[in-house]
Amino acid sequence: MRFVIVTGMSGSGKSTAMRILEDMGFYCVDNLPVGLIEKFMEILSEPNSEITKAAIGLDVRTDQSFAQAGRILKSLRQNGMSFEVLFLDASDSVLMKRYKESRRMHPLCTQENPRLEDGIAREREILRQIKKDADFVFDTSNLLTRELKEELDRIFIKNKVYNNLIINIISFGFKHGIPADADLVFDVRFLPNPFYIDELKYLTGNDPGVQDYVMSFPEAGTFLEKLTDMLLFLIPNYIKEGKYQLVIAIGCTGGRHRSVTLANGLSRKLKAKEEGFVVTVGHRDI
């Protein structure tokens, strides 16, 4: 029997994750009363149960009920019950944006204190320990639903290794500014610019013609090889320090040709390594 506890910050995509798991054949129960968690898991663990995979969604409603959930999960583990905790997170700015777009109230906001920032901060504190103890932590700030589905499939269907690190590769144009959330920034303006080639000017690094032009220069391939080697050294150390998201920004002048080509190339190289970390790629200025 495989149990998955799905929890995390409100607005981080827990409901989406539950729907994906349900499509994967998991028997899903969302917002199960805390007092029924142990009984639910015991019933499904009985030898005659036809259910082999189940997911339970846990939301923060009050400090007391979630503290009780934490105690129950700890007790279940001590008694030999096997389950995995999937924790979904997102940056405060992304959570605030999602709540403002949905016009929903955060579950920890009250009439006395309706400030969204305070609700998010309070929720982070309540969830601090369960996030620390979680088996899988996904930061969905820059994660598409399709990418979340791919990673859940990789973990819960294909049973591949996951290292709790999401690598977001972003192409950008320096004339539009460096991405504010970038951890590492690389400048590829040392390569010839396809913008000055008439037949390539209005294409992007997603087009084969631009890719062939950029990669025709030996420096481009050398850059990718050396950058990949450096990242394969850095990534295990980031994981060791508990980092959940790494944003790598690759920039050229306008963010349409060279940076896009090399961001795509770096993404392919890292994905081919099968090291267990999530790799996404996005192009900010196309």
Which DSSP string do the residues of 218-252 spell out, in sequence order?
Answer: HHHHHHHHHHHHHHHHHHHHHHHTT--EEEEEEEE
Q: Is the pLDDT of residue 61 over 70?
A: no
Q: Are residues 129 and 261 in the same domain?
A: no
For residue 249, what pLDDT is reported? 98
**Within a domain: residue 45?**
yes
Helix-strand-coil split of the chain, %, nearest 5: 45, 20, 35
Q: Are residues 69 and 100 in the same domain?
A: yes
Domain limits for position 259: 166-283
Q: Are residues 214 and 279 in the same domain?
A: yes
Say which residues have a Cβ less than 8 Å from residue 204's Cβ, sequence separation at least 6.
Answer: 210, 256, 257, 260, 283, 286
For residue 162, what pLDDT is reported? 73
**Where among 156, 174, 189 does a domain terminate?**
156
Could you read off the pLDDT of 225-282 as tens digits, one per residue?
999 999 999 999 998 887 888 999 999 999 999 999 999 999 999 999 877 788 999 9
**Within a domain: residue 278?**
yes
Q: Which residue shows structure tokens 């099968």?
A: 274
* Rounded distance between C-alpha atoms, residue 209 and residue 256, angstroms: 13
**Within a domain: residue 161?**
no
Top mean pLDDT of 101-105, 124-128, 189-193 is at 189-193
Q: Are residues 10 and 126 in the same domain?
A: yes
Q: Is the pLDDT of residue 130 over 70?
A: yes
Q: Are residues 137 and 175 in the same domain?
A: no
136-139/84-89 β-pairing: parallel
Average pLDDT of span 7-29: 94
Look up residue 142 and give its two tokens: 């820059």
Q: Are residues 42 and 75 in the same domain?
A: yes
Average pLDDT of span 24-42: 88
Average pLDDT of span 126-137: 90
* Rounded distance between C-alpha atoms, residue 276 and residue 81, angstroms: 26
**Where among 130, 156, 182 does a domain terminate?**
156
Average pLDDT of span 111-133: 88
**Within a domain: residue 180?**
yes
| AA identity, residue 85 | V
Q: Is the pLDDT of residue 108 over 90?
A: no
**Where among 100, 130, 156 does a domain terminate?**
156
Q: Is the pLDDT of residue 161 over 80?
A: no
Q: Are residues 141 and 217 in the same domain?
A: no
**Within a domain: residue 19?**
yes
Q: Is the pLDDT of residue 163 over 70?
A: yes
* Rounded distance between C-alpha atoms, residue 205 and residue 256, angstroms: 6
For residue 72, what pLDDT is reported? 85
CATH code of the domain containing 95: 3.40.50.300
Q: Are residues 172 and 278 in the same domain?
A: yes
* Rounded distance between C-alpha atoms, residue 264 and residue 33, angstroms: 45
Could you read off the pLDDT of 62-79 as tens digits, one per residue?
555 677 888 888 888 888
Q: Are residues 279 and 258 in the same domain?
A: yes
Q: Are residues 147 and 180 in the same domain?
A: no
For residue 64, what pLDDT is reported? 55
Q: What pTM was estimated for this model as a whole? A: 0.75
Q: Are residues 51 and 102 in the same domain?
A: yes
Say which residues have a Cβ less than 8 Å from residue 249's Cβ, sequence separation at least 6.
Answer: 170, 171, 172, 178, 179, 182, 184, 185, 186
The model's confidence at residue 44, banded by pLDDT at 50, 70 and 90, is: confident
**H or E segment to which residue 251 belongs:** strand 245-252
| Structural domains counted in the chain | 2
**Within a domain: residue 10?**
yes
For residue 35, what pLDDT is reported? 80
* Rounded distance between C-alpha atoms, residue 278 and residue 268, angstroms: 12
Q: Are residues 176 and 130 in the same domain?
A: no
Q: Which residue shows structure tokens 């995979």?
A: 53
